[in-house]
Structure formats: structure tokens, C-alpha cells
């Protein structure tokens, strides 16, 4: 053992001291790879707020949640409270408010503060009982920065109301999200949220002992209307978890790109290490070191890089997570559910996972070169120049294998999702990357032949030398190209996917958003949060001169077959006016709209159709108010506004079941030729002091695209890290190539090549390399983007994305990578230029 340690120290560690820059690059690439994985893992958990719906704050020890679309009649509470079983019930109002009309929406929870004695019982700061409030009393979470006695204005829906803070919830005992909540008594909460007579839900604790919870649910079901749902508390969290799993899967996979690229680089680094120490390895072997010792020494090198890198990565990842959580949080809110990010928590699990992944992947990548080192024959090591032979010989099988994995990828891409996860889509993507990596040596060979011919004719001796030497060092060069190509491919594919998506959304909005002005409550909205405004605003606006029509739309967050969804009601006749909502191929909009006006049909959005395997002509049953009507699906329309999925019916139909006339938003069509500015001014007068926002068509689109871009900013960040890792690898690898070929450069210098020529040779090599990597990467990227768009995205989110070629974006990105690759060659070139020809030639 001590012998091995000595070997490890002499053969591996001591030389590293002399190549600090390369060592640092390798460690840093591992660190970045691990950091990204850690950051996304941590931020993903935090952003999803542990998938905990904000509205589940203060549910305490409740076992059951009783709820219904559009709320529950409060009389049901009295009926339940008198059941002759030892249940405990408490009513809840669940809404959102923004403090002083700005900032994030804070859950606004109404509870029975007199009778609701079985809540989670968070402590209050001592409440001064002597002073009676002159404003409506609220209690606030400790993180809101409010103090007892503060007066605040809360914007709820389209109204602002003044409250006095009566106490602060004790942070020590607060549960998830409870640091960030506003609590009011139930009657007050009903009044200010416009839900008089209704409850959003009733929490229940079942009697102790005896039956299990299912039996109690059955018992209660007999006491409530069929449309009222009774679920174990936390079902919403489960639903959210299900809904968000696709999103998190995708993110996690993306986060591994940098690590995969990093693995290529570890492979490369260890290869370099092996090559550089070839002579030394031969000597120690000659002196009696076993193959196992050599193998272990090189694996230990990789292990050392990986450990240091992973440790750094953990720290870096923790920092990156703070930034990432904000980006992810806004995405989750925009697309899925109102869930406040929970604090970033570094669990032993995420710690262990990061270390395992970082070190595991590194060791795996180092296995092949370390094995090669262990195979170095003592004699062979004394002479140089034959080390690439084995690589070329083995290359014979690469192309058939590449072809085979491409075929497998094509097959995998056809397979359906497993439990809503596009597992085979990811497999297809991995197989494609593998295929490309296998094909690269062959391609490189062909390319080099071709270029060599050109280079010879053009007469640039430097280029010729560069091309030939690249071909000669095929094995390592191909790994290098594979690493860079993988990074480029990932970037290109995601760029194409996001670009296509963005274009698809833009075109969709063009069709969908045909009205001139849009109004919505100032209260903060999200995918599951539809603040309302008074319908009188719409009625008054409709009467204004210059206004042709108004489309009133109401949305509800609902649950359909155990998954969150959205329900909407719009005015079909107004949609017909101008909008060109696009339906799936083979369906006619006018026929579908006719069906909607008849009252027994709905349109469903594409994600909803995919999630629940519904198509036009199918029927679906909804729980609305006190009834459970069945609706025929009149059509499936393209919708990119929420992944939750939308069920849309005519407003009259919706009002028949849920009579609350308040609206979530409205579209205003201005008469052709009317002065839009004048109309806008009149609308502002109608709104008066109410909290209603007016958007012009252009601004609404701009805002929507801004949300879209924000959603994908995390994707771009992940891409960028992968590219940085790849380029760092290029620099390190070229450096290794130079060192490997010291003798060759020395000889060239000896034969009269100038230092500049040497530099040109190396830069030219980098140029060839970069070009090839870009070319292969782009080709692979296009294929991957097809998998992303038509397999992975479709299966995880259910969106049809029209392929769109983001030319300018791609071109600039590829050029950037290319230039960076060449720049990265300058440092190794300098090293090569500094070689002393005499010394190098004398080595042999």
C-alpha cells in the first residue's frame, strides 16, 4: 500500500504541480458540471415549494379537504358540524392579496378564528387586547416584514382594502409557506374576496380510532352533494407533484448535459495524463509496479480531480441555486401552480447525490485511459509514436455501431411515454449522442483526407501538418470533438426547440389575440389563480361609443381526474367575431362554436386532451356547483397559455352551473374606424379607482413573450454552462496534444519551422477541430431537436410545436463557439512555441 501511495505521489501528484493550469481547468469543469446538477436539484425542489400549494398553508393537522369548483355553500359546514361523530371541521377562504398593491401575491387565508380551534396552532406574538382596531384585523406571517399595529392596503381581485396587522405568526412554529401568509377571520375574508355565503374549502379531522380514513370519506360523501370532493389533505400537493414531475424531469436532464460534457473532458484529461506519463509508466512498470497499481494510480487521479471538483461544485451549486430558484419559481407560477419557493435546503441526500454523480461519472470516464495505461509494456514505453495505433485499429467497428445506435434511437423515438415521462425520448437522445461519438473518428478521418487534399493543393504546409497530425492522434481528438460536438448539439437542439416554441406561441397569439384591448384585475394571477373583477365594468364598457363588443371570460382552477386543470367560460359569439382560434387538423371552428352555444359541449386545449387521452367527440364529466353534467368535446384547440390544460365552455353554460358573474378578464373589440385612444380613455373612466389593468393588444403580446422568455432563461443558463465546460476542455485538450507531440514540434522547429508556424499549426488544428465539432454538433443538434420537439416535449407537456429554424440565433451561437475554440488554442500554442527544439529532439 505504501508503495502504491508513493507511486501515486511520484507518478501522478508531483507532475500535476507542474501543470497547474490544466489541472485547474479539469477540476473546474467537474466543479461546473456538479454545480449545475446541484443547483437545479436544489432550486427545483425549492421552486416547487416542495410542490406544496400556497393555499394549503395553515391546514394544520387536518386529515381531509372538502372542496368544490366555484366553492361550497357555507350552510354545508353547519350540517357537517352537527353530524353525530367526533369530526372537527373548519371553514377556509383561500385567496391571494398583494400588499399595498405591489409585489408578490401572498396567500390570503380566511379561517374561523373563533371555532377553528384545531388548526395547527402557530403562536402569535402577544396580541394587545386593550386596543380595539379601527381597521379590519389580519394576522401575518413573519417573513412579510409587517409589525403589529401596521396598517396595510391589500389588493385582492380588483379591490383595495385597508387592514390593521393585529399580530405576527410565530416563525418558530410556522409550517410550509406559513411565514408568508395573511390570515383573517372567515367572515371578513368572505367579504373582501367577494365570496359571501361561500367557502373555498372545509378542512376536517376525522374521529380518533376505529375506521380508517377511507371509511370516513365514504361516510362524509353521503352527507354532501355529489359535486363536492372529499380528498385526504395534501391531495393538492400530490396533484402538483404529478403535474410538475415532467417539468422537473426535463430540467434535471438538462442539468446533466454539463456533467456529460465534463465526463468527456475527464476522459480526455486522464488520457492526456496517461500519454504524458507514458515513459514514466514504462519505467515504474520496469521497476516492478503491477498493472493494478498503475490502473489504481490513474483512477485515483481522476478520483482526486472529481473529489475536489465535486466539493467545489457543491459550494458553487449552492450559490447558483439561489439565483436559479427565482427563475424556476416564476416559471412554476406562470405555468403550473401558485407555490411559493421554499428555502433552498441542502439535504444529506442532495449532498451525497452530487458527490456520487460527480465522482462516479469521472471514474467511469477515466476507466478506459487508466486501463490503457496499465497495459503499457515496459519496453514499449521507452519508444514513442505508436500509441495511436490501437485506436485506429479499433475504429473499424465504430461506424457500424454508430449506425446501429442511430437506428435504435429512431425506434426509441417512436415509443410512447411511460407514466407521462418520455423515458424513451431521453433514451433516443442518449443513443443519438452515442452514435455521434462513435461516428466521429470515422468522420474525422474522412474529413481529414478531404481537407488534406485541399490543404496540399493550396500549399499551406501548416494546414497540412495540422490535418495530418490530427488524423494521427485520432483517438483523443475524436473524444475532444465528441465533447465539443455534444455541447454544441445540445445547445443547437435546445435553441431550435425553444426558438420553434417561441415562434409557435407568437403565431398562436397572433391568431388568438384579436381584440384591441384587454382588461384584467390587478390582483396577481397565475396558472391556478384567477382573480376576478366586477362584471359591471364589462357591462359599462360594452355601452361605450366606439366599442363593438366585449368578451367576458371567467376561469376557475379545477381538478379533473386527479390532476389540476383550468375551466373557462367565454362568450362564443364574440370569439366568432374575429378570433381565429386554431383547432386540431380536421375540425372546423364554426361547427365547434355552434356546438358550444348549445350548452352541452366544450372545447379542450391540446395539453388537456393529451393528458386525459380525450379527442373531439368524446365526453367528459365535470363537477360544477351542485351538478355533474357531461359535456361532449366539440374540438381540441391549440393553447400554449398553461400546461394545466383548459376546458372552455360558453359563458351562459358556465353561469348556469356556477352563477357567480364576476369575470377573470375581458377582451374589448373597438369598432373599425373608432378612435382607439378615445375608447381607452373612456374605459379608464369606467374603471375609476378599481384595481383593473388595461392592456393594448401589442402590450399583452409583449408581456406574454416576456414571460415565455423568462421561462426559458434557466434553459439558456444551463446551455451556457455546458458550452463553457466544453470550451475549457478544448483548451486543456489542445494543451495535452501539444505536450504529447513535443518531439514532433521540436523536430519541426529543428527542421526550420518558425515559432509562428508552430502557432499556426496548432490554431489550424483547433480550427479544424472546432469546425468539425460544430458541423457534427449542428447535425446532431437538428436531429436531437426533432426528438425534443416531437417526442420529449409532446410527451411531457402535450404541446404541438411547429418546427422553426432560429437561423440568426444558431449562427451567432455556433460562430461564438467556433471563435472561442480557436482562442482557446492560443495558450497551448504559446506553450508549443516555447519548446526548446534541441532539448526535445535529444530526449530520444
Partner 1 sequence: MRIRLWGLSDVFACGQKVALVMLVGTGLGAQAQRPALPGYRFEFPKDHFDHPEFATEWWYYTGNLSDDSGRPFGFELTFFRQAAAQALVHAVTETPVWNLDQIYLAHFAVSDLQGQAFFHTYRLNRAGPELAGISQKEGRYWNGNWQVRFLDGSGRAELRTVTNEAVLQMTLEPRKAPVVHGRNGISQKGTDPGNASHYISFTRLAAMGTLTWKGKSYSLHGLAWMDHEFFSHRLEDSEAGWDWFSIQLENNEELMFYRLRKKNGLGDSYSSGTFVDHAGGSHFLDAKDFVLEPAGATWTSPKTHATYPIAWRLRVPSLGLDLAQTTPLAAQELDGKEGEGPTYWEGAVRYVGTRDGQPIKGSGYLEMTGYDRALVFGQR
The contact set with partner 1 (CB under 8 A) reads 74-79, 81-87, 112-119, 121-124, 126-127, 129-130, 132-137, 139, 161, 167, 169, 184-188, 190-192, 196-197, 207-209
Secondary structure (DSSP) of 194-213: T-TTEEEEEEEEPPSSSS-H
Smallest separation (angstroms) from partner 1 to the CB of 58: 9
Smallest separation (angstroms) from partner 1 to the CB of 54: 19
Smallest separation (angstroms) from partner 1 to the CB of 193: 11
Q: Which is nearer to partner 1, 255 or 534 (CB)?
A: 534
Q: Which is nearer to partner 1, 60 or 770 (CB)?
A: 60
Smallest separation (angstroms) from partner 1 to the CB of 145: 20
Smallest separation (angstroms) from partner 1 to the CB of 63: 13
Angle (deg, nearest 10), helices 291-335 and 20-47: 40
Cell of 644: 394545466
Smallest separation (angstroms) from partner 1 to the CB of 144: 17
Smallest separation (angstroms) from partner 1 to the CB of 623: 21
Smallest separation (angstroms) from partner 1 to the CB of 122: 6
| Bridge partners, residue 669, by sequence | 549
Cell of 235: 391531495
Task: Give CA–CA dist 734/731, Å, rounded.
Answer: 5
Handedness of CA 478, 481, 486, 487 (dihedral sign): positive
Smallest separation (angstroms) from partner 1 to the CB of 185: 5
| Helix (H/G/I), strand (E/B), else coil: 188 | helix
Q: Which is nearer to partner 1, 532 or 642 (CB)?
A: 532
**Which 8-state DSSP code applies to residue 9?**
I
Among 517, 596, 598, 520, smallest CA distance to 550 is for: 517
Smallest separation (angstroms) from partner 1 to the CB of 123: 6
- Helix ranges, 613-750 (H): 651-657, 676-687, 697-740, 742-750
Q: Which is nearer to partner 1, 101 or 207 (CB)?
A: 207
Q: Which is nearer to partner 1, 187 or 599 (CB)?
A: 187
Q: Which is nearer to partner 1, 72 or 603 (CB)?
A: 72
Smallest separation (angstroms) from partner 1 to the CB of 127: 6
- End-to-end alpha carbon distance in the chain: 33
CA distances from 111 to 59, 118, 185, 464, 788 (A): 10, 11, 5, 80, 46
Among 48, 52, 41, 49, smallest CA distance to 318 is for: 41
Among 539, 547, 572, smallest CA distance to 663 is for: 539
| Bridge partners, residue 105, by sequence | 98
Q: Which is nearer to partner 1, 112 or 462 (CB)?
A: 112
Residue 646 · residue 638 · CB < 8 Å: no
Among 335, 251, 337, 324, smallest CA distance to 704 is for: 335
Q: Which is nearer to partner 1, 169 or 354 (CB)?
A: 169
Q: Which is nearer to partner 1, 126 or 414 (CB)?
A: 126
- Cβ-based neighbours of 176, under 8 Å, separated by 6 or more: 49, 50, 52, 56, 57, 342
Smallest separation (angstroms) from partner 1 to the CB of 213: 15
Q: Which is nearer to partner 1, 132 or 287 (CB)?
A: 132
- Cβ-based neighbours of 734, under 8 Å, separated by 6 or more: 480, 762, 765, 766, 769, 824, 825, 828
Exposed e or buried b for every residue in 457-489, given b needs 16+ CB within 10 A? eeeeebbbbbbebbbebbbbbbbbbbbbbbbbb
Q: Which is nearer to partner 1, 203 or 641 (CB)?
A: 203
Q: Which is nearer to partner 1, 85 or 844 (CB)?
A: 85
Smallest separation (angstroms) from partner 1 to the CB of 81: 5
Q: Which is nearer to partner 1, 185 or 239 (CB)?
A: 185
Cell of 177: 409557506
Task: Give CA–CA dist 402/448, Å, rounded.
Answer: 19
- Cβ-based neighbours of 765, under 8 Å, separated by 6 or more: 466, 467, 469, 470, 734, 737, 825
The two beta strands, 630-637 and 692-696, are unpaired
Amino acid at each position: 500500500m505504501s508503495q502504491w501511495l508513493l507511486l501515486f505521489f511520484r507518478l501522478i501528484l508531483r507532475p500535476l504541480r507542474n501543470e497547474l493550469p490544466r489541472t485547474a481547468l479539469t477540476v473546474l469543469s467537474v466543479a461546473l458540471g456538479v454545480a449545475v446538477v446541484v443547483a437545479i436539484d436544489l432550486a427545483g425542489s425549492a421552486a416547487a415549494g416542495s410542490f406544496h400549494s400556497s393555499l394549503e398553508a395553515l391546514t394544520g393537522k387536518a386529515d381531509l379537504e372538502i372542496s368544490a369548483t366555484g366553492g361550497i355553500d357555507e350552510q354545508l359546514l353547519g350540517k357537517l358540524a352537527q353530524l353525530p361523530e367526533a369530526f372537527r371541521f373548519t371553514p377556509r377562504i383561500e385567496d391571494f392579496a398583494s400588499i399595498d398593491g405591489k409585489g408578490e401575491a401572498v396567500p390570503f387565508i380566511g379561517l374561523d378564528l373563533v371555532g377553528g380551534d384545531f388548526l395547527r396552532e402557530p403562536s402569535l406574538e402577544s396580541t394587545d387586547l386593550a386596543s380595539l382596531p379601527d381597521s379590519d384585523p389580519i394576522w401575518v406571517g413573519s417573513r412579510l416584514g409587517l409589525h403589529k399595529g401596521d396598517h396595510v392596503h391589500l389588493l385582492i381581485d380588483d379591490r383595495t382594502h385597508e387592514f390593521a396587522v393585529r399580530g405576527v405568526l410565530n416563525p418558530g412554529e410556522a409550517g410550509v409557506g406559513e411565514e408568508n401568509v395573511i390570515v383573517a377571520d372567515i367572515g371578513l375574508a368572505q367579504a373582501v374576496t367577494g365570496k359571501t355565503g361561500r367557502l373555498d374549502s372545509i378542512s376536517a379531522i376525522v374521529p380518533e380510532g376505529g375506521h380508517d380514513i377511507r371509511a370516513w370519506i365514504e361516510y362524509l360523501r353521503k352527507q354532501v352533494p355529489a359535486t363536492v370532493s372529499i380528498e385526504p389533505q395534501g391531495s393538492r400537493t400530490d396533484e402538483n407533484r404529478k403535474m410538475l414531475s415532467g417539468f422537473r424531469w426535463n430540467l434535471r436532464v438538462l442539468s446533466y448535459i454539463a456533467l456529460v460534457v465534463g465526463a468527456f473532458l475527464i476522459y480526455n484529461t486522464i488520457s492526456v495524463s496517461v500519454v504524458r506519463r507514458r515513459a514514466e509508466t514504462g519505467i515504474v512498470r520496469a521497476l516492478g509496479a503491477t498493472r493494478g497499481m498503475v490502473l489504481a494510480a490513474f483512477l485515483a487521479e481522476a478520483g482526486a480531480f472529481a473529489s475536489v471538483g465535486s466539493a467545489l461544485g457543491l459550494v458553487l451549486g449552492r450559490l447558483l441555486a439561489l439565483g436559479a430558484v427565482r427563475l424556476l419559481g416564476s416559471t412554476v407560477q406562470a405555468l403550473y401552480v401558485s407555490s411559493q419557493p421554499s428555502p433552498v435546503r441542502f439535504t444529506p441526500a442532495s449532498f451525497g447525490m452530487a458527490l456520487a454523480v460527480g465522482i462516479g461519472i469521472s471514474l467511469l470516464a477515466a476507466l478506459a485511459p487508466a486501463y490503457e495505461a496499465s497495459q503499457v509494456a515496459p519496453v514499449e514505453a521507452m519508444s514513442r509514436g505508436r500509441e495511436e495505433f490501437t485506436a485506429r485499429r479499433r475504429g473499424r467497428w465504430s461506424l457500424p455501431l454508430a449506425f446501429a445506435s442511430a437506428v435504435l434511437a429512431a425506434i426509441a423515438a417512436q415509443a410512447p411515454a411511460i407514466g407521462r415521462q418520455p423515458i424513451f425520448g431521453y433514451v433516443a437522445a442518449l443513443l443519438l449522442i452515442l452514435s455521434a461519438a462513435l461516428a466521429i473518428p470515422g468522420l474525422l478521418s474522412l474529413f481529414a483526407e478531404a481537407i488534406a487534399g485541399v490543404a496540399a493543393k493550396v500549399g499551406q504546409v501548416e494546414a497540412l501538418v495540422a490535418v495530418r497530425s490530427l488524423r494521427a492522434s485520432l483517438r483523443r481528438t475524436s473524444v475532444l470533438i465528441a465533447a465539443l460536438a455534444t455541447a454544441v448539439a445540445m445547445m443547437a437542439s435546445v435553441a431550435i426547440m425553444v426558438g420553434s416554441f417561441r415562434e409557435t406561441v407568437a403565431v398562436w397569439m397572433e391568431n388568438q389575440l384579436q381584440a384591441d384591448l384587454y382588461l384584467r384585475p390587478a390582483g396577481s394571477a397565475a396558472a391556478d389563480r384567477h382573480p376576478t373583477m366586477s362584471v359591471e365594468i364589462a357591462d359599462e364598457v360594452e355601452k361605450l361609443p366606439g366599442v363593438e363588443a366585449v368578451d367576458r371570460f371567467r376561469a376557475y382552477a379545477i381538478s379533473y381526474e386527479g390532476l389540476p386543470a383550468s375551466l373557462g367560460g367565454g362568450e362564443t359569439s364574440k370569439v366568432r367575431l374575429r378570433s381565429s382560434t386554431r383547432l386540431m387538423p380536421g375540425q372546423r371552428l364554426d361547427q365547434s362554436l355552434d356546438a358550444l352555444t348549445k350548452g352541452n359541449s366544450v372545447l379542450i386545449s391540446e395539453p388537456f386532451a393529451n393528458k386525459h387521452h380525450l379527442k373531439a367527440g368524446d365526453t367528459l364529466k365535470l363537477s360544477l356547483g351542485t351538478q355533474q353534467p357531461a359535456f361532449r368535446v366539440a374540438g381540441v384547440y391549440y393553447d400554449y397559455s398553461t400546461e394545466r390544460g383548459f376546458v372552455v365552455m360558453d359563458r351562459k353554460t358556465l353561469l348556469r352551473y356556477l352563477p357567480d358573474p364576476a369575470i377573470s378578464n375581458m377582451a374589448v373589440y373597438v369598432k373599425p374606424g373608432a378612435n382607439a385612444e378615445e375608447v381607452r380613455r373612456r374605459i379608464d373612466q369606467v374603471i375609476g379607482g378599481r384595481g383593473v389593468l388595461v392592456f393594448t393588444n401589442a402590450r399583452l403580446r409583449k408581456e406574454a413573450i416576456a414571460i415565455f422568455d423568462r421561462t426559458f432563461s434557466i434553459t439558456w443558463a444551463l446551455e451556457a454552462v455546458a458550452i463553457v465546460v466544453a470550451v475549457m476542455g478544448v483548451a486543456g485538450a489542445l494543451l495535452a496534444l501539444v505536450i504529447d507531440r513535443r518531439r514532433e514540434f521540436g523536430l519541426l522547429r529543428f527542421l526550420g519551422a518558425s515559432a509562428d508556424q508552430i502557432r499556426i499549426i496548432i490554431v489550424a488544428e483547433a480550427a479544424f477541430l472546432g469546425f468539425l465539432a460544430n458541423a457534427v454538433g449542428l447535425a446532431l443538434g437538428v436531429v436531437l431537436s426533432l426528438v425534443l420537439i416531437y417526442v420529449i416535449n409532446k410527451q411531457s407537456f402535450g404541446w404541438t410545436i411547429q418546427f422553426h429554424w432560429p437561423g440568426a440565433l444558431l449562427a451567432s451561437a455556433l460562430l461564438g463557439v467556433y471563435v472561442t475554440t480557436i482562442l482557446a488554442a492560443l495558450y497551448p500554442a504559446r506553450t508549443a512555441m516555447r519548446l526548446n527544439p534541441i532539448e526535445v529532439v535529444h530526449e530520444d
